[in-house]
Structure 1
Amino acid sequence: MLTIDEILSRGVSEVIVEANVRRKLNAGKPLRLKLGIDPTRSDIHIGHAVALRKMRQFQELGHTVVLIVGDWTAQIGDPTGRDESRPRLTVEETKSNAKYYMDQVFKVIDPAKTEVRWQSEWFGQFDLEKAFGLIGRFTVNQMLAHETFRKRYEAGQQLTVLELMYPMLQAYDSIAIKPDIEFGGTDQKFNILAGRQLMEQMGMEPQDVILVPLIIGTDGRKMSKSFNNSVDILMSPNDKYGKIMSMGDDVLPVYYEVWSDAPLAEVKAMPEAIKTGSVNPRDLKMQLARDIIRQLDGEAAAAEAEAEFIRVFQQRDLPTDMPEVALSEATNIVDLLVSTKLAASKGEARRLIDGGGVRLAGEKIGSYDSLIQPIGEQILQVGRRKFVKLLGN
């Protein structure tokens, strides 16, 4: 188990106010740890889950996570980091997304030490008098200090009064549940501090704040599904393992700091060790992949994913489990790559062919016009990790 010093420093960008947090931890009283979840998202990746992993460390010390499902603010849409308004969700969409979201969240935090609250518990009975009382505690100047709001205002882009209310409503969540500490990414600092300020205004002990970093994707860019550089919580263990093994050497220390318990001195020494060749980056990636999959899917899944990776990519065997697709007529390779989901679009399919990454029965395909005939079983492969078994007549 990590020490308090390690918990408050490792994989943490900022603690507000650290002396208060230490005092609370040393008092021995169970703490309430707030995290708001945005049910406008569907899949979450391990970048989103850095805060969850940090909260799991607090749970192991006996503290309680209070998850607030933003079913009310989801109907506004979190404006943080967005340069345009976002369409509002219906109540039904919000509930469906929230259930799917929590299925992923509970792969990281302990549900037995988690309290789930819905904003509609307090906002469902929020009348106009209460709304005016809340809005009156914030100023337009204060809201325009929010970087996203300020940039959109200065650029002459649409900025609705409804969006300006998002930080206010998130702040009021803290009044409703009385947390000791709120957690979030660095992009949530403005909203979280608004909760701290509101609690103080209303005569409550203000929540302290723990902000975690927004980690980069496996290729060094911002982590995003659109860049295909994210490791998603609900990916199969085999896909998680393969994605981690494909990451750049330079991002390894970042992932080790926030997703492993390896000694921090070893983590900080990794760049030099990789540079001098005293450690093989492949071995570091395999260890990291095992560790992340163990945390999310269990020991058995981690061992199976590693065995499959070794069998397929180190011993050059075919995977034991691959999708099967019936092929009843000759089909253009570009169309086939898209229909089998080996490529997201025809443009991507052509780029894969140009790059030499498409093979049929082990033979490279070099033309967009290639027709794939429906003859028995054939293995269609893209890159090193994607396979489909074609079943012909």
Structure 2
Amino acid sequence: MTSIMDHLSDQQRKEMERQYAVYTHGTSQVIPGEELKQKIASSLIHNKPLKVKLGLDPSAPDVHIGHTVVLNKLRQFQENGHTIQLIIGDFTGKIGDPTGKSTARVQLTDEEVKRNAVTYLEQFGKVLDQSKVELHYNAKWLSELKFEDVIELAGKITVARLLERDDFENRMKENKPVSLHEFFYPLMQGYDSVHLESDIELGGNDQYFNVLMGRHLQEQFGKEKQVVLMMPLLEGLDGIEKMSKSKGNYIGITEKPSEMYGKAMSLPDELVVKYTELITDLSLDEKKMVRQQVEEDQIHPRTAKMNLAKTIVRMFHGETASQAAESQFQKVFQQKQLPTDIEEVLWEGERTVSISNLIVSLGMLPSTSEARRMVKNGGIKLNEVKVTDVNEDVKIEDGLVIQVGKRKFKKIKFN
């Protein structure tokens, strides 16, 4: 029996192998790899782009570098002419993804979902060419399902299969409630793939159950099964926890260039290669070169990290901003000079204030206890002079420069 692979010309076969290498690089799992090759081959032979899906429930619209792991993989497909299907879960978002949750999520209103979706799309445009993205809202088809359609959909999966999810299983063991509507979340996400006839779906490792549901339901409905690409979750700047705004270990994609660069430089050395492979727009050969240089000690870890930091800023702010951020970092951290773009704050308070209250008033730390702790650790300076007394009263003067940690600066300004 001949397969689609037998119909490839030599040139098409080389192109298939090239694309396969690009798409699989950096993934944690491809389910299954051979089918991905067949789909690429079919796309080349029939000159028909693949439909590559990413589902989004817009419950937390502030995008950070960790979110761009899947976006960069989508961009690779987009650069080869394939169609990106972004699914905004305006229907599923009202339920909320139960993945990793110890309780049911609070259901979002229509207004909250739409507002969050707008923010998502604005930020995703920094990675993807939005003019070449198919944007779908799954309420368009899910809200039209009749109750008998829902019953039919529910009949495509067993309760035992649904209970395989760790979050459901753990909550039941702990006698925590699992609402019936939560079981429908993976079914609805999977049905999106059925409706759109997606060829490929991307998801983070924590989405394993959800994205495989699309493949399962496509088979149940007599459709060609999608291939699933699982992407690793990105550790945050602490090198331990998953990147998260709530943990403060993130790089936001809308942050200032200097803040981006400085945060990237605080990354543990051992994560430089992983970040380079997962979140940058470097070519496959360039990424392999970075890995080789680091593993064979051909480049100093600090230099590799500076290259990474410069690349990140360039991707989101452009080459000029990237060079300026590097220059400022060198002045502030290597030459111990003050940055040139310190934020000025109009001061209208008392002219003498305690150091801890000053820091909190300026929003540089959230509490006086943290400010006092920072003083004890030698992390606060006034006009480049380290503060050593946690009880020090500061005389507020026009032009006073306050530094907290290595990257936070503010300058007092009077009317």
**Fold agreement, TM-score > 0.5:** yes
Normalised to the residue count of structure 1, the TM-score between the two structures is: 0.94
- The equivalences for 1:157-172 within 5 A come to 157-172=176-191
- 1:389 deviates by 0.3
Contact residue 294 and residue 304 of structure 2 kept, 8 A: no
Structure 1: distance between partners of 2:287 and 2:213: 33
- 1:165 deviates by 1.2
Of 1, 12, 18, the residue aligned with 2:33 is 18
Q: Does 1:331 align with 2:353?
A: yes
Q: Does 1:79 align with 2:98?
A: yes
Of 304, 310, 333, the residue aligned with 1:290 is 310
- 1:20 deviates by 1.4
SS at match of 2:246: helix
Describe the shift of the 1:267–1:347 C-alpha distance in structure 2 as closer, same or farther (beyond 3 A): same
AA matched with 1:285? K
SS at match of 1:324: strand
Describe the shift of the 1:21–1:272 C-alpha distance in structure 2 as closer, same or farther (beyond 3 A): closer
Of 256, 262, 268, the residue aligned with 1:242 is 262
- 1:268 deviates by 3.6
Contact residue 46 and residue 232 of structure 1 kept, 8 A: yes
Structure 1: distance between partners of 2:180 and 2:57: 20
Q: Does 1:385 align with 2:385?
A: no
- 1:269 deviates by 3.5
Which deviates more from structure 2 when the two are superposed, residues 254-263 or residues 156-165?
Answer: 254-263
- 1:271 deviates by 5.0
Contact residue 8 and residue 15 of structure 1 kept, 8 A: no
CA-to-aligned-CA distance 1:89-136 (integer Å, 9 cap, x gap) = 111011111101111111111112211000111122222222222122
Q: Percent identity?
A: 41
- 1:272 deviates by 4.0
- 1:215 deviates by 1.5
- 1:354 deviates by 1.9
CA-to-aligned-CA distance 1:288-342 (integer Å, 9 cap, x gap) = 1121222222222222222222232223222222222223312222222222221
Contact residue 403 and residue 410 of structure 2 kept, 8 A: yes
Of 351, 359, 367, the residue aligned with 2:381 is 359
SS at match of 2:304: helix
Structure 1: distance between partners of 2:369 and 2:23: 46
Structure 2: distance between partners of 1:36 and 1:17: 20
AA matched with 1:317? Q
- 1:16 deviates by 1.1
Structure 1: distance between partners of 2:365 and 2:386: 16
Structure 2: distance between partners of 1:372 and 1:243: 29
Q: Which runs of 5+ in 1 are unaligned?
A: none
Which deviates more from structure 2 when the two are superposed, residues 110-119 or residues 224-233?
Answer: 224-233
Q: Does 1:99 align with 2:118?
A: yes
Which deviates more from structure 2 when the two are superposed, residues 103-112 or residues 367-376?
Answer: 367-376
Aligned to 1:116: 135
Q: Which runs of 5+ in 2 are unaligned?
A: 1-14
- 1:146 deviates by 0.8
State the number of aligned residues: 390
Of 295, 303, 323, the residue aligned with 1:303 is 323
- 1:251 deviates by 1.1
Describe the shift of the 1:229–1:207 C-alpha distance in structure 2 as closer, same or farther (beyond 3 A): same
Of 81, 86, 89, the residue aligned with 1:67 is 86
- 1:53 deviates by 0.1
Of 285, 289, 299, the residue aligned with 1:266 is 289
Aligned to 2:10: none
Q: How large is the Cα RMSD of the aligned pairs?
A: 1.9
Contact residue 20 and residue 36 of structure 2 kept, 8 A: no
AA matched with 1:186? N
Aligned to 1:4: 19
AA matched with 1:324? E
Structure 2: distance between partners of 1:42 and 1:338: 27
Structure 1: distance between partners of 2:395 and 2:346: 11
Of 39, 42, 50, the residue aligned with 2:69 is 50
Of 250, 256, 259, the residue aligned with 1:230 is 250
Contact residue 374 and residue 391 of structure 1 kept, 8 A: no
Contact residue 374 and residue 392 of structure 1 kept, 8 A: no
CA-to-aligned-CA distance 1:350-377 (integer Å, 9 cap, x gap) = 2212211011111222333222222221
Contact residue 52 and residue 108 of structure 1 kept, 8 A: yes
Contact residue 250 and residue 271 of structure 1 kept, 8 A: no
Structure 1: distance between partners of 2:207 and 2:188: 14
